[in-house]
Amino acid sequence: MTDTSRLLRAYDEQLRTDAETPSAVSVTRLGPLRLVTFLGRRGFVTYQDLGGADEAGVRALVDGAVAHFRSDGGITNVEWKTRGHDHAPGLHEALVERAFVPEEPESIMIGEAAALAVDVPLPDGVTLRQVTQESDVRAMCAMQDEVFGSTPSDASANAILRRQALDDGMELWVAEAGGRIVTAGRLEPVPGTDFAGIWGGSTRTEWRGRGIYRALTAARARSALARGKTLINSDSTEYSRPILERYGFHRVSTTTPYVWTR
């Protein structure tokens, strides 16, 4: 088995379970699907596989998921998380016909935590720290909304604060310059697995290309190792993917979110 095959198998077996949605408010099973509701009445669809469904079966699953979320008038949007390596005949067509809009695909990157835990020099005046206070969390989320082009709101901060209250090991890391957050990201150790995920990586445009994201990632990798996690996973944009590849990470598949808005 190649490294990529081994890592993809570990991803499917260890991460595509309820471990994928630790902050869920509720989870409903529909055949192989997990229909998840998050804080803020956001819906999410995921699964380990589609159970060998043919095209008609896939369409039936999509119809069932849509009916489930439509029946809850408080749900305003739903993300269906697809993976490029799944056997899912007709899924793209079924989703688009039901008003799901595909967003940009991302690379599923996996590698050894030890490979990332290296010393990376920071630019003068830039410091790293882990944050826990509500004011810091809200400042971090506001910066990420800005970088990702999202409409500023309290929704992401409220969701992170709720997750933080679960005390499940999630860590929030920032890099600061002159008292201003310039880079941020989360570490999410996954209980009962070899994995910790690195999520939410974002850097202000004017600070990119100076090694700050690499330093923040290295700090998170060291923390993951201290928690006994040997593998790191990340859904990476085309900005962060090359950084992880330099440290021996493998692009094991892709993931594309399809989003339905009421």
Are 23 and 162 in contact, with CB atoms under 8 Å apart? yes
> What is the average pLDDT across 73-82?
94
* C-alpha distance from residue 115 to each of 118, 122, 176 (Å): 7, 18, 24
- Per-residue pLDDT reduced to its tens digit, 191-227: 999 999 999 889 999 999 999 999 999 999 999 999 9
> What is the average pLDDT across 14-18?
94
Residues 6 or more apart whose CB falls under 8 angstroms from that of 53 comprise 31, 32, 60, 61, 88, 89
**Is the pLDDT at 233 greater than 90, yes or no?**
yes
* Residue-level pLDDT at 188: 95
Length of the chain: 262
The CATH number for 111-254, chosen from 3.40.630.30, 3.40.190.10, 3.40.50.170, 3.90.1150.10, is: 3.40.630.30
Distance between CA 194 and CA 107 in Å, rounded?
Answer: 20
Long-range contact set of residues 95-98: C-beta below 8 Å, sequence gap at least 24: 95/62, 95/258, 96/258, 98/62, 98/63, 98/66, 98/260
% of the chain exceeding 90 in pLDDT? 79
**Which tokens go with 145?**
């909304």
- Per-residue pLDDT reduced to its tens digit, 137-175: 999 999 999 888 887 778 889 889 988 988 889 999 999
First CA to last CA distance, the chain: 44
**Which tokens go with 127?**
């410091």
Are 183 and 204 in contact, with CB atoms under 8 Å apart? yes
Distance between CA 206 and CA 47 in Å, rounded?
Answer: 38
Residues 6 or more apart whose CB falls under 8 angstroms from that of 137 comprise 131, 157, 160, 161, 164, 172
What ranges do the domains of the chain cover?
16-107, 111-254
* Residue-level pLDDT at 1: 53
- Tell me the whole-structure pTM to 2 decimals: 0.88
Residues 6 or more apart whose CB falls under 8 angstroms from that of 253 comprise 8, 11, 83, 84, 85, 107, 108
**Which tokens go with 260?**
């339905």
